[in-house]
Structure formats: structure tokens, C-alpha cells
Amino acid sequence: MTNKLRYFIANWKMYGDIKSLKSIDPVIKFAKLSKKKKIKLVYCPPYTLLHPFFEKIKKTNIGLGAQDCHYEQNYGAYTGAVSSKMIKNLGAKFVIIGHSENRQKGENDLQINKKIKSALQNKLSVIFCIGETISQKRKKLTKKILKSQILKGLNGIKNKSKIIVAYEPVWSIGTGILPKGFELNENINFIRLFIKKNIKLKNIAVIYGGSVNPNNINILNSISSIDGFLIGGASHSSKKLIDIVRKSFN
Ligand code: PGA
């Protein structure tokens, strides 16, 4: 295992209500005890819980992020939307952009690029999600898709930008299926190198997402190129989340 900072990003998706706040108490306690470790734990609850989460974790070393933002940086006549400025105002420091569940709803690369730019303008760190579908994988198009998503999504993004790339094979999200170790290692290294060469972003963190849980975390941790994890389903359980982080440092 490397000595680099490792990210553990909890993506709650459309789950959680005000009562769920209590359930993260053990994680807060755990994070306090792990202060000296090179861990960055970030909660991304739904918009409705951003403020209560902020109040709950503002004095801790846990970060806060949103799950998406609008591409307009400020305010505008966009019913139902939330801008990166609003997210920043609430005290969040991160935002997930380009998640496959949004791409599947029709979000395109240009919109993703504009969202990333608006988030960076508002000094948010971006968790930029990329990944191939199962049919693209079967057609051996994985690298082509990754290249295209990177080039279009990060078009015009400058060095020093706060970007974390989350490689999430779509077929691995919520399915319990993990990519084979060698494939995952190859794709993670490919992403890092491709971004370095073509976008000129150096030392970019590349994390993995898709069915991460306490039972498979040891396998995933054996792939040293991974800088952390984007965790969906398992992150609703404080016990599982703590287990994942703990096993990443034993
Ligand atoms: P999962 O979700 O861990 O439930 O597979 C990951 C994600 O969608 O980010």
C-alpha cells in the first residue's frame, strides 16, 4: 500500500432522511481516532441533507459533497436545479459530476464539462465519474470510451484544478460484480497516464467505484494504483463504511 492520501467517498444517492443523521455517529468517532492516518472521508448525501450534514460534521475531519450540480455557476431560472455556488455556500467542498446514473438519464459530456468548470469556479473539488457499460466492455471499447469521456469532460480544464477521477464501470455499480484485478489495475493506470499526457493534470487521484464492500475491500486494496473508493450502497451503513476504511489500513 502506498503512503498517498486515500479517499473514501460515501455516495448516499437518493437515500436518507433527517433521522439518518444519527446513524453516522460511529463514523464521526472513528474519523476522530484516525486523524493521523492519510484518509479523506467525504459524505455526499442528497441535497436535502447537505445543511444538516454540514452542521453535524463541521467540527470534524470529514468532508462534505453534493452528488451533482447545475452547469450555471450562480443563480438562474432552472426549476429544480442546484448550482455549485449554492453547494459551496452550504459549506460543501466536493461535488460528484458525471455519475453514470445521470449519464443514463441523458447527461452528456458537454454538460458534464460545463458542470466541472462551474464547480471549479466555485472552488469545489470535483469527483469526476467515468466508466464503460457492459456492452461497450464486450465490444472491447473500454479504453476508447474512457479516452472520449476524459477528453470531452476535462476539455479546457487547467492544471492545479481540484479533480479526483472515479473510475466506475457501469456494470459494476450495485451489481456485486468487480472487474478482474489486472483489468482494474490496467484501466486505473491508463486513466492516470492518459490524463497526464493529454490534459496535463499531474498527480491526479484516481479512485474506484462499483460494489465496494467490506468483503471485497482486501482484494481491491491489493491494487496499489487505486487512490481510494467511491462507495454507494455500503456507505449507508456506518459499520460497513468503517470496516472498509479500517481494512484499508491494516
Ligand atoms: P455501489 O455504487 O457501491 O452501490 O455499487 C457506487 C456508485 O454508484 O458510486
Residue 3 has pLDDT above 80, yes or no: no
Angle at which helix 181-198 crosses helix 142-153, to 10 degrees, equals 40
Q: Is the pLDDT reported for residue 137 higher than 60?
A: yes
Return the residue matching grid coordinates 448525501: 45
pTM score, whole prediction: 0.97
What is the identity of the amino acid at 161? S
| CB neighbour list of residue 213: distance below 8 Å, 6 or more residues apart | 233, 234, 240, 244
* Closest C-alpha to ligand 1, atom 9: 232
pLDDT of residue 4: 84
Give the distance (Å) from ligand 1 centre to CA of residue 12.
9
pLDDT at residue 216, rounded to an integer: 97
Distance CA 181, CA 172 (A): 13
Residues 6+ apart with CB under 8 A from 202: 159, 196
Query: For residue 205, what pLDDT is reported?
Result: 96
Residue 242 clears pLDDT 60, i.e. is over it:
yes
Residue by residue, DSSP assigns 208-220 as EESS--TTTHHHH
Which of 173, 178, 237 to mutate to test ligand 1, by most ligand atoms within 8 A of the CB atom?
Answer: 173
Q: 98: CA distance to ligand 1 center in Å?
A: 13
Q: If you average pLDDT over residues 10-19, what whole number do you get?
A: 97
Can 168 be counted among the known catalytic residues? yes
Q: Which amino acid is located at 242 in the chain? A: I
Cβ partners under 8 Å of residue 156, min gap 6: 113, 117
DSSP code per residue over 33-65: HTTTSSEEEEEE--GGGHHHHHHHHTTSS-EEE
Residue 43's pLDDT is 98
pLDDT at residue 37 is higher than 90:
no
Comparing CA positions, the residue from 14, 89, 91, 88 lying closest to residue 60 is 91
Signed CA dihedral, 238, 239, 240, 246: sign only: positive
Task: Tell me which of 76-80, 82-86, 245-249 is least confident.
Answer: 245-249
Answer whether residue 96 shows pLDDT above 80: yes
| Active-site residue identified among 101, 107, 132, 168 | 168
Q: Averaged over 66-73, what is the pLDDT?
A: 96
Average pLDDT in the chain: 95
Q: Residue 132 Cα, ligand 1 centroid: separation in angstroms?
A: 14
Catalytic pick among 99, 107, 132, 236: 99
The reported pLDDT for the residue numbered 1 is: 46
pLDDT at residue 250, rounded to an integer:
65
Q: What is the pLDDT of residue 202?
A: 83
Give the position of cell 492520501.
5
Nearest by Cα to 44 from 101, 2, 114, 113? 101
Answer whether residue 20 shows pLDDT above 90: yes
